[in-house]
Amino acid sequence: MYKIIHNYDWLIFDADNTLFDYDKAEKLALLNTLNDFDIGYDKNSIIDIYHKINHKIWMDFEKGLIKSQAEIKQKRTRQLFEVLQVNRDIEQFADAYLVNLSKNGHLLENALHVIQSLAKTHQMVIMTNGMTQVQRPRFKASPITQYFKHIVISEEIRYSKPSPKIFDYAFKLMEHPNKHKVMMIGDNLGSDVQGGINYGIDTIWFNPNSHKVKHQATYEVTDLLKFIKR
């Protein structure tokens, strides 16, 4: 993969679960918020319950079935309350959860080291469907973002992956490089990989758990270190 990635001048990275440990951030934010609102929960199941709710809603958003990130906040909180059979203010809980999430910017193992190395040879962009009020504080506090030339947050431009329009926006910032010299890297086959395919650029599916799934990504890697190992 080291030789392959050096055929490209620009690398577009997804953020969550590609560079940032979103699963860890989600867990910490959820438990802290539930505790802040004095809501009881089963420690053995709550994370899995919320993850399934959140994942399904984000998939619906990427398919266009949910129209805004404000709707995401409402729906996932309402569904969580229904499962837990609690009655709290949905807006207050949703906002508190996002504040807690914004405070958790843990990076995946080796992410910083890999990006520091790639920054010597490539120009890079972060492209995320995450919410602005979560991503901006995390990015500002993280040592990794200094190595990226541009950061594109879908909520700020009103287009999200896999829409070609978010790639149009990024390519304008990048001053319209040759598509053959641009690679999209991400963990999500629906938004990252399909988005890149839709736009006509090569893609890398980051698959750290080695899921056995048919896909159309140009390449697949299970370890970020593959990008810098000769």
Residue spans of the domains in the chain: they are 2-21+105-227, 23-102
**β-sheet with 10-13: strand ranges across:** 150-153, 123-128, 10-13, 182-186, 202-206, 219-221
Write out pLDDT tens, residues 94-124.
999 999 999 999 999 999 999 999 999 999 9
State mean pLDDT over 68-86.
Answer: 93
The pLDDT value recorded for residue 91 is 94
- pLDDT exceeding 70 applies to what percent of the chain? 100
Mean pLDDT (the chain) is 95
Q: Which CATH architecture has domain 23-102?
A: Orthogonal Bundle (1.10)
The pLDDT value recorded for residue 53 is 95
14 is catalytic: yes
Model confidence, pTM: 0.91
Protein fold of 2-21+105-227: Rossmann fold (3.40.50)
Q: Of the residues 16, 21, 192, 202, which is catalytic?
A: 16
Q: State the SS3 of 123-145.
A: EEEEEECCCHHHHHHHHHHCCCH
16 is catalytic: yes
Query: What does the angle CA 80 – CA 138 – CA 37 come to, to the nearest 5 degrees?
Result: 35
DSSP state of 108: P
Q: Of the residues 14, 187, 192, 202, which is catalytic?
A: 14
Phi, psi (degrees; rounded to nearest 5) at 48: -65, -40
